[in-house]
Amino acid sequence: MSAAAEWQELHFTARKDQVEPLEDWLFARGALSVTLEDEADQPLLEPGPGETPLWDAVRLTALFAGAEDLTRLLGEIPSELCTQAPTVAVPVADREWTRVWEDQFHPLQMGERLWICPSWTHPPNPNAINILLVPGLAFGTGAHPTTAMCLRALDADLPPGQRVVDYGCGSGILGIAAARLGATAVLGVDNDPQAITASRDNAQRNEVPDAAFRVVLPQDDLIASWQASADWVVANILAGPLVALAPALTSLMVPGGRLLLAGLLVDQAQEVIEAYAPEVALSITDQQEEWVLLAGEKC
């Protein structure tokens, strides 16, 4: 190990059931972070609240300070905690480690006016509506096609002065975008408490006052006060929950209000369209990869 190295990494391949004990073992021996990646290109759909789903085969990267004696550590790793012997420590310069984050998350333009920028970056266009986000545990960095389609639709069509519901708000990205695009009141709803915290943190980071973007769990009393009063409802969830939520979402809308639904695949569109008919006549208005956006007005 070069004396100049700031950091070093160990790389492992593990089965899903080995990940948690292996992480615990690594943290107990001084790992500063453990990053998990898919080893076998296996897509994971949206987790339920409190769930942290994992791929069947997981690639772990453990980061240690440059001064740690990883040669000794390599000899101590219990064989039942990984499927292959870990690869030897790789020196990582400080600069390169920062770049790992920069490579994964970078500013993204969404339509004409909106940019989604990781909080540590300088927005490339200071005159744009820049939304600063910390990619955390809650879904919604802007990189996913379903989020991107919703953001582009908000950017293109949301008039100022609207009351907007962001149902399944995750990181709060859509609700914050709506507020920054001129919505006067936004209600964020999510059934995952982590999403409530993330949405509030991100709203604060973007100087969206609490009063302009209220964020609540689905059973909160505040939802009753929004009945039949939302000009726009945006929900980026999955097809199954979107079908189940049809009565709840339509009851929030004013007549003539606009509904945007994302999180469904092209071959699930018909089932979701039927669940909202005849109150809302939905049609596919955008497609990115295999994901579609449905939009329509309430009668």
Ligand X SMILES: C[S@@+](CC[C@H](N)C(=O)[O-])C[C@H]1O[C@@H](n2cnc3c(N)ncnc32)[C@H](O)[C@@H]1O
- Interface pick for ligand X out of 140, 196, 213, 232 (rule CB under 6 A): 140
Which residues inside 245-264 make contact with ligand X, applying CB under 6 A? 245, 263
Tell how many helices (H) and how many strands (E) occur in the chain: 9, 14
- Interface pick for ligand X out of 150, 203, 273, 292 (rule CB under 6 A): 150
Element of type H or E holding 270: helix 269-276
Instruction: Determine the Cα–Cα distance for residues 235 and 246; give it in Å rounded to an integer.
Output: 11
Instruction: Determine the Cα–Cα distance for residues 213 and 200; give it in Å rounded to an integer.
Output: 8
Q: Does 139 bind ligand X (CB under 6 A)?
A: yes
Q: Does 201 bind ligand X (CB under 6 A)?
A: no
User: Hunting for tokens 């004409």 — which residue is that?
Assistant: 112
Q: How far is CA 245 from CA 168, 242, 260, 275, in A?
A: 11, 5, 13, 9
- Interface pick for ligand X out of 6, 23, 38, 46 (rule CB under 6 A): 46
Q: Does 287 bind ligand X (CB under 6 A)?
A: no
Q: Does 268 bind ligand X (CB under 6 A)?
A: no
Draw the binding track, 160-199, toward ligand X (x: CB under 6 A; -: no contact). ------x-xxx--xx--------------xxxx--x----
Give per-residue burial for 269-292: e unless 16+ CB within 10 Å, then b: beebbebbeebbebeeebeeeebb
User: Hunting for tokens 């296996």 — which residue is that?
Assistant: 42
Q: Does 237 bind ligand X (CB under 6 A)?
A: yes
For the record, the structure tokens of 294 come out as 């449905």
Which residues inside 203-232 make contact with ligand X, applying CB under 6 A? 218
Number of residues engaging ligand X in binding (CB under 6 A): 24
- Residue with smaller CB distance to ligand X, 14 or 154: 154
| Of residues 177, 198, 185, 162, the one with CA closest to residue 129 | 177
- Residue with smaller CB distance to ligand X, 138 or 280: 138
Tell me, what amino acid is at 158? L
User: Hunting for tokens 């499927």 — which residue is that?
Assistant: 83
- Residue with smaller CB distance to ligand X, 73 or 245: 245
Which spans of this chain sit near ligand X (rule: CB under 6 A)?
Answer: 46, 49, 138-140, 147, 150, 166, 168-170, 173-174, 189-192, 195, 218, 236-237, 241, 245, 263
